[in-house]
Structure 1
Amino acid sequence: MERAEGKNTSPDAMRFGLVSVLLSPSQVYRGLREQGALHRLLWGFSGAVLLNGLMTGMAAPDGGRGLLGALAVVNALGMALLTACAGWLALGVVKGGLPPLAVAVPCVAYGFGVTLLVSWIPGSFWFTEPWKWAVIGTGFRDLGGLSGRRAFGGVLLMVSALVVLFKGIFMMQGA
């Protein structure tokens, strides 16, 4: 097998890439922004959504596995879309003007994509949710050009808006 010219295909480079995806979101955001390849985060997110649906369906008790897997896919896509909209608006509030969608969408796609790979495991919520919001905040800082405090404020605003939205929905249902 020939080695591609100018590309490092050693196992160490691949392992570092995987480790950086999981542990160094800032490095991933910077690298993809420099390459002009932020759309790759959307492809990674799509794969994570499908894998999450498959694993959720497989983890279901007998009967209804396909339906549960499909619901997991729809839930992941819907929540990511809702969160991206909330993030776009939160960035606009914190930054003082609406940024391009190309800032908010990759941040949310990366945050969801990384955590969806593990979130099908029962009880993983307590680990994946804080990590997702930290990854999104890192994206706000690195892609949105915000300070750490403003990025934290943007994430806090997003989480608050989503909690209020769902609390309102539950109250309208009488729950």
Structure 2
Amino acid sequence: MTTFVSEQAGPCGKTNLMGALSGLTMSPRRWFAESFPVVTPHEATAMLLLAGLFHAAVGALPLSGTGTLVRAGILMANALGMTVLHAGMAWLVSRVVGEPRMRFASIWKVFAIGASPTLLIAWIPFTFFFTEPWRWVLVALGMIYGLGMGRLRTALVLLIAGSLTTLLMLSILRLVGSPIAPAA
């Protein structure tokens, strides 16, 4: 059994960040089954913060001059905010779908850990089409193998939560008068 936990505390507590990222990349099913239970919500948040800082810093580099810090702040707020929003929606839906004792901290760990490796690549233009499905696959594997949810229930929770999040974003865009409003 390969473990991604060390005896010495680092920036992510006792979770080895590089080991966790390589484990999630090489064998996410095995990583969630073996190493996920020992990761605390604080360590998962630290992983997300480090990945989000990298995403924001590297994503703002191509923009020289004024606005670099603003762009980095927007990228960081987007990385953290969307993860919190998706985790919150999934937690609410999971309580309705039949997991009433599911704790938000458990769902948060799955979403924070699932988003971390994808943020390291998501700053590259047009990788959205690869990183976003990968994030949802990692989250699904985390819910199945890390939290022990069934496949059907996981698919149902993620489909409903993703749909609700999309509807929320579209309604916010419509309220602020964005030109990206859906066709009638």
TM-score, normalising length from structure 2? 0.79
Q: Distance in 1 between matches of 2:55 and 2:158?
A: 24
Deviations 1:83-133 (A, max 9, x none): 111111122122341411222001110121111000000000000000011
Contact kept, 8 Å, 2:21 with 2:117, in 1: the verdict is no
Counterpart of 2:40 (choices 35, 38, 44) is: 38
Contact kept, 8 Å, 1:56 with 1:72, in 2: the verdict is yes
Gaps of 5+ in 1: 1-5, 8-13
Q: Distance in 1 between matches of 2:74 and 2:66?
A: 14
Contact kept, 8 Å, 1:94 with 1:154, in 2: the verdict is yes
What is the aligned partner in structure 2 of residue 11 from structure 1? none
After superposition, the Cα gap between the structure-2 partners of 1:65 and 1:111, relative to the gap in structure 1 and judged at 3 Å, is same
Counterpart of 1:164 (choices 164, 167, 173) is: 167
Deviations 1:156-175 (A, max 9, x none): 11110111101111222233
How many residues matched?
A: 163
What is the aligned partner in structure 2 of residue 104 from structure 1? 107
After superposition, the Cα gap between the structure-2 partners of 1:166 and 1:98, relative to the gap in structure 1 and judged at 3 Å, is farther
Q: Distance in 1 between matches of 2:112 and 2:36?
A: 14
**Aligned residue runs from structure 1 range 78-93, under 5 A:** 78-93=81-96
Contact kept, 8 Å, 2:51 with 2:119, in 1: the verdict is yes
Tell me which protein shows more helix as a share of its residues: 1
**Aligned residue runs from structure 1 range 9-158, under 5 A:** 18-34=21-37, 36-39=38-41, 40-158=43-161
Query: CA RMSD for the aligned pairs?
Result: 2.3
After superposition, the Cα gap between the structure-2 partners of 1:102 and 1:61, relative to the gap in structure 1 and judged at 3 Å, is same
Q: Percent of counterpart pairs with the same letter?
A: 25
After superposition, the Cα gap between the structure-2 partners of 1:62 and 1:95, relative to the gap in structure 1 and judged at 3 Å, is same
- Is the partner of 1:118 in helix, strand or coil? helix
